[in-house]
Each structure stands twice: as structure tokens, then as C-alpha cells.
Structure 1
């Protein structure tokens, strides 16, 4: 009887409303937290050709400048697998991305790591973790992943938890025949395909290979 009397005296309706409001607030906060991690949905399919025309001063935008424009879109991460790398402009583009907070990871070939004019030594002297296969078999990949899905999502969640600003991103893959060298950009006939698929199957396949190499190859 005492409990029944107390129950009739407790204002259950206002309490229920207050509890419901608290739960809704928490749900909204969680939703807002994850809504800040946005991915661009516009699909990109581009083919960059390096030939005598794109090397001409009359060509509106050089092929290398087109590649740099994609590097400049990076918000969270750049994963580079490059056989040989000597070009100053691409080196500067990657360093600028790093300076604005983009994580940079590099996999290259052991022999090319110390080749003439290589920029890998400059990256290493700047403190970057560079990894190579320990065998004499060539690491002959030539691709770069910009904001790969898992990497971008993990980093953006970390930024959110640290109350740092997050940005809209788009996962991109640049892959083709061209090494990032002066000869490759300004002398050879080469190609580079740029893509961002909404279902990410191709990008995820490349990202899986990069992560496999990154976890397998030692730091040089």
C-alpha cells in the first residue's frame, strides 16, 4: 500500500519526458559525430597521357600538373607505391600535403631507394617511414592511393574524437606506367589512370595490396 501511495505521488510523466529527451540528445550527438565524416559521391574517371603534345607549352595544363591537382585534394592520407621517384614538383606536392596534416606512407624499391637523384633520400631525411622489400625482386608498382576508404575513415574518426576539424573526402587511385621521374613526365610516352569508384572495389584491391606490403616490408 505504501509503494502504491508513493507511486501515485511521483510525477512519472515529466520524468519519462526528461529521460526521453536525454536519450534523443545522445542519439543526435552520435549521429552528428558520424555525419561529419562525409565522402564525396561524384565519380572520377580520368586518363592522363604523357606525350609530345602534353609536353608542349601550348598545352593548357601539363599532364604532371593534372596529377598534382589530384594530390592536392588529399584530406587524410596518401599511400604511395613507386618504383623510382626523382621529380621535384611531385616531391613538393607530397610535402605540402604532409604539412597540411595528410598522413604520408611510402613503399619503394630497395635498389631505387639509393639511385641517382632519388627523392626517397629526401623523404627519409625528413623523417618519413619508407619501406622496401628485403629481396632483390623489384617492387615495380606505380600507384598512389589518396584517402583510401579505411585509412580516411580511421583518421577522420580519430580527429572527431579529438575534437579536430574533419573534411569531406573522395577516395582516389592513380595508377599507370609512369614513374615519378623527370624522364617519365617530360620525356617518355606514358599513362596514368585516375579513378574513384562509388563501390570502391578497385580502390580497395589496391589498398589491400599496399597494406600487405606495408606490414611485410621492413623500414629502410
Structure 2
């Protein structure tokens, strides 16, 4: 069920350019896939704050890596430390060719940036752990589905807003699990490519 649900998230990221609308559509899609009160806890996310924070962070980091053509965002659900840790690792590669949808470069990044905390995900992380309120199925599904979808919106918008000139291909996902294409600039043209995936394309 989870991969069928994730396909819907990837399609939303591609087809809905407005961040707020994409967020609402992802929540609605989650409710369709899994009936649970857990989704109610995500309705008050401070999306604008998280977008601004991520854009500032990414702009500063990409400026330090002007030759990078591959951008790797590794999601980390275990080191948020009550809002004082991180949940996104950042890697860069100069061996990526954005015109090609290939992922080999993401396994051997040659440069790394400072990690980032998407604060909104830290603020709702208790929902992934509260065994008294939600079942394992609810918690595990929401953690994978919502963490991926929300971070995808935030990171997509951060890249779109940042001022950097080089073509690139960006991937994001769980650093110890599934990775997905997110976006690229190819010959100066921006594309969200989340629905074109390395293992299932």
C-alpha cells in the first residue's frame, strides 16, 4: 500500500506547483490511503516558516559548491533531538549529468554541506512514536508518507527560490532506504521529475 500511496505523492509534487495546494493535496491523499486521526495532527504545519528556513539554508550551501551538478537530500528521522538536531543531510556531486536521469552519483557524493532541520517535521515527530494513540501501521505509514511528502515540497521550493546558475539533478529520500528523483535544471529549464524514478522507471 505504501508504494501506491507514494506514487500519488510524487505525482502531486510534479503536477501541483503551488506549495500550499500541494501540501493540502498530500494530506487529502493520505486520508484516502489510510483512515486515521493521525492526519489531523498535520493540518497546522507552519509551511511558510519551513520554506523560508530551508531556502535560506540551501542558498547558503549551494553558493559554496558552484561546480555541483548533483544534489542529494538524505532524510533522517532519528536525529531531530526535540527540535535541536537535523533531519536533512546534504551532499553534492560533480559527476552527475543532469540531462541523464541516473542515480549512481548519489551513492558517492564528493562534497557535503551542513545538515538542516525542517522544524515542522520535528514538531510532529511525536506522532511517529506515540504507541498509546496510534497503531504501528498508522505510525509507520504516516512517518514514511508524510515525512517524504512534506520534505519534498519544502526542498522543491527551496531549490526553486535559490539563486544559482548551474544545471543540476536533485534526489531526495531516506538515506538508509528509498531514494527518489525530485527536480532538475537541464539546459536552463526547471523540471520537477519526481514521477520518473531510477528503480521503477
Q: How would you bin the TM-score normalised by the shorter chain?
A: under 0.3
State TM-score, norm by structure 2. Answer: 0.27
> Is the radius of gyration larger for structure 1 or structure 2?
1
TM-score, normalising length: structure 1 = 0.26
